[in-house]
Amino acid sequence: MIVKALKIPVRYQGVTHPAGQVFEMEEAHFNGKIVIEVTAEEEEGMAKYVKQRETIAQTPTEEETDYTTYSETELKKVKNDDLKGFLDSRGVEYKTDAIKEDYINAILGK
């Protein structure tokens, strides 16, 4: 189904959609508190987005770095956003106020 993000950005399938952006969402994931289903007119405007998304999907991406093979010293040199992204991709939870040491400990299983 085609939806539009309401008042806040919506993160869906690894992509953050700003408020007002139209995007595709599986019906099972629909939440009327954060998105609305768009009309046929708005759906026509979606064609550009779909084409862009297909192009991105066909573009080869870098392999994800396996930070579990890194030492603590090496992990200290990695950006926090990269560490958080790695943890997110593995479904590892961490506190919203976590610091680099917390991310490193989570990766190293401490």
DSSP line for 40-82 = HHHHHHHHHHHHHHHHHHHS--PPPP-GGGS-HHHHTTS-HHH
* Predicted confidence band of residue 2 (pLDDT cuts 50, 70, 90): confident
Give the C-alpha separation, 76 to 101, whole Å. 8
Name 40's Cβ contacts closer than 8 Å, sequence gap at least 6: none
* Predicted confidence band of residue 65 (pLDDT cuts 50, 70, 90): confident
User: Mind listing the pLDDT tens digit for each residue in 36-56?
Assistant: 888 766 666 666 655 666 555
Q: Give the pLDDT confidence score for residue 51 in this predicted structure.
A: 60
* Predicted confidence band of residue 77 (pLDDT cuts 50, 70, 90): very high
Q: Give the pLDDT confidence score for residue 99 in this predicted structure.
A: 93
Note the pTM of the prediction, 2 decimals.
Answer: 0.44
* Predicted confidence band of residue 94 (pLDDT cuts 50, 70, 90): confident
